[in-house]
Amino acid sequence: MGSSSIIVYIPPVLFGLVALTFLVLRQQRIVTNWQWGAGFAQTALGFSLSTFPIEPTFDAFTSGMIFIGAAYCYSSAVFDHFQARSYDRERHWFVGAYTLLLVYFVFGLQSLRYQLFLTDIAFACLIGMALVSAFSKARRNADKWLVASIALVVVDTVARAGYFFFHTDGSDSFSDFVDSAYNLAVHVTTITICMTFPFSALVASGVAALERHREAAERDPLTSLFNRRGFEAALGGDGASDGAVLVCDIDHFKQINDTLGHAVGDAVIAAVADMLRQVSGDDAVTARFGGEEFVVFLPRRQLPEALASGERMRQTVCEKDWRFFGLTRTVTVSIDLVREGESDPHAAIARADRALYAAKAAGRNRVFQAGHEADANLSELASA
């Protein structure tokens, strides 16, 4: 293969552009890790060595270290993207063993075939580790595409390594690498098959960034519950659904802030949020509407079941040992319930919210129904 062929310039240029894109995205805080950019930059540098060789032995060893560094960064980026265990210690040992073998094959055996086979297999193993961890975690279509493209890279790398090592009799001299059939095959498969990898990584990272932005816009940062916007989005555009609405308010919360400070107040809010989330059930939509006020939508709940859920929430908060928070008294909540049938839950929230403050004048630490105390008949309703 002539070194002037246009094909040799395509991989370093493309991978360099992808690396630059990831660098810009990270500076804009759209991409959260640096490993994608580092991996693609190293790949571009590795291909540049075959396009602009320096000295054969130096090129063989340096390119091997560059490509294994790229594989390490790729695997780190995949682990981070899918929030999977990264196996750092195991990968460090693997790279250390690879480096020792590379030194032996390059400077001891001085064998191009062994050096290429070793680098390809080690590259595939590192990315393959990430592939195994990511396979079961890919839920979004963009993530599935990323996993599929990683699998293509692994298959291509292993197939090429096996074919050229076991079924061809190419030159074993480092000086013949640039014009070898192997180098041409690497460039061709990279441009055709493996180029899906960097673009799928870009798409998957972009989709993940959009979801993080949406989560940040729809979640309360203190409690991780939905905020008002997230609550409305979770219920759907028109908000119409059959179920019950519980409006929950922490009793005498201002006293906690005034006597113990806002840090303790925030801790109490976060603790109450956790309890409401645990008691309300997996299908419930739980939100913090601001301050010490929470709203829980219980889909498809009839009145007795909804009242029982509200009572469990009240008891859970009341029975907690709050001394860890520096409190000398029990924290309690007042809950107002509206059963909506087919009506709009948002209208129920407004009505329950107004009724709650009037109802608290009759006594706190209670569950009310539509502004009327429901504790007295709770057991009867729950058993109906």
**Whether 293 contacts 241, CB under 8 Å:** no
Separation CA 58–CA 101 (nearest Å): 16
β-pair partners for 226:
219, 287
Active site residue 319: no
Report strand pairing: 333-341 vs 367-369.
Answer: parallel
Give the DSSP letter string of 228-244.
HHHHHHHH-SS---SEE
**Residues in the chain, how many?**
384
Q: Which helix (H) or strand (E) holds 296?
A: strand 293-299
Three-state DSSP at 264 gives helix
Separation CA 334–CA 249 (nearest Å): 5
Q: Which residue carries 């500076």 as its tokens?
A: 27
Q: Which helix (H) or strand (E) holds 132?
A: helix 112-135
Separation CA 352–CA 279 (nearest Å): 20
CA atoms within 13 A on the CB side of 194: 22
- Active-site position among 232, 292, 311, 340: 292
State both tokens at 122. 């080690």
Kindly list the catalytic residues. Answer: 292
